Structure 1
Amino acid sequence: MFEIAALGILISSFFVEFTGLYPGGIVVPVWISFYVDQPYRVMGTVMIALICLGSYKFLRRYLFLYGRRRFVIMVLLSTFLSLLIRQLDIYGGFKPVELETVGWIIPGLLANTMERQGILVTLVSTFAVALTVKLITVLIL
């Protein structure tokens, strides 16, 4: 797993250098690549990232949220929402599908990048790098 993470960070870094686009941060595509075979988990991560982004856009009307504060609010929202989804499952709540997230922080990192460079560009970049990492690890390792 360490080798895959190191390889993924290297691929993400090259992607940023050559394209100037951030794939949700350097580690986000690496973690997404670990869960490519679990589409509901990946969809849950994107869904939470979009909810974080929408919540941030609402909150910034009333609060001064730029720079470091923006990053912190995205990660806190991501953690809260990811834990909320898990609690629905623990207490026997209604979950029509196994909707989980890839970690607690990954959706916040993704939302933070979406705010800076746009939703579509971020998602395409993230999945391009994640699928590249997965393909290389399947072929080599």
Structure 2
Amino acid sequence: VTPVYLFIFIEQPLRLLYTWGVGLVTFLILNLLQRYLILYGRKRLAIGILLGVVVKLSLDTFLMPNLPVELFSTVIGTIVPGLIANDFYRQGIVKTSLSLIFVTMVVWLTNILIKSIMVI
């Protein structure tokens, strides 16, 4: 699901980077909470998605009004940062980041291929 959302905004790299960053902040907060709470499975996913929304809204409230208009970008979707944070937890930051890039590029190339076939 996440790579398709990222593909939709592939022409807006700042927005992609901001979404990844919110996912990373969500992951770090989730790791901190996990020291004090018993989080696993669906409960961890639900808390991750909720935290992603809270982090997104917090950063949009405090950070975005201070940025220049040309750098203004918002997070892609509301649950995407939580899904990214959950994947960070399961696979690690590097593996998840590389797989997101790879699968998003595969979706992008598939889109180009389908469009070129439709023209013929």
Question: Which of the five TM-score ranges fits, normalised by the shorter chain?
Answer: 0.7 to 0.9
In the alignment, which residue of structure 1 is the partner of 2:78? 104
SS where residue 112 of structure 1 aligns? Answer: helix
The size of the alignment, in residue pairs, is 113
In the alignment, which residue of structure 1 is the partner of 2:100? 126
Taking the aligned partners of 1:53 and 1:86, their CA distance within structure 2 comes to: 18
- Quote how far apart the aligned CAs of 1:85 are: 3.2
Give unpaired runs (5+ residues) of structure 2. 116-120
Which of 51, 66, 69 aligns to 1:94? It is: 66
Taking the aligned partners of 2:43 and 2:8, their CA distance within structure 1 comes to: 29
Q: Contact 1:88 / 1:95 at 8 angstroms: preserved in 2? A: no
SS where residue 93 of structure 1 aligns? Answer: helix
In the alignment, which residue of structure 2 is the partner of 1:80? 54
4+ residue stretches of structure 1 with deviation over 4 A?
Answer: none
Which one has a larger percent helix, Structure 1 or Structure 2? Answer: 2
Q: Contact 1:85 / 1:100 at 8 angstroms: preserved in 2? A: no
Give unpaired runs (5+ residues) of structure 1. 1-26
Deviations 1:98-125 (A, max 9, x none): 1311111011101101101111111111
Which of 37, 40, 44 aligns to 2:14? It is: 40
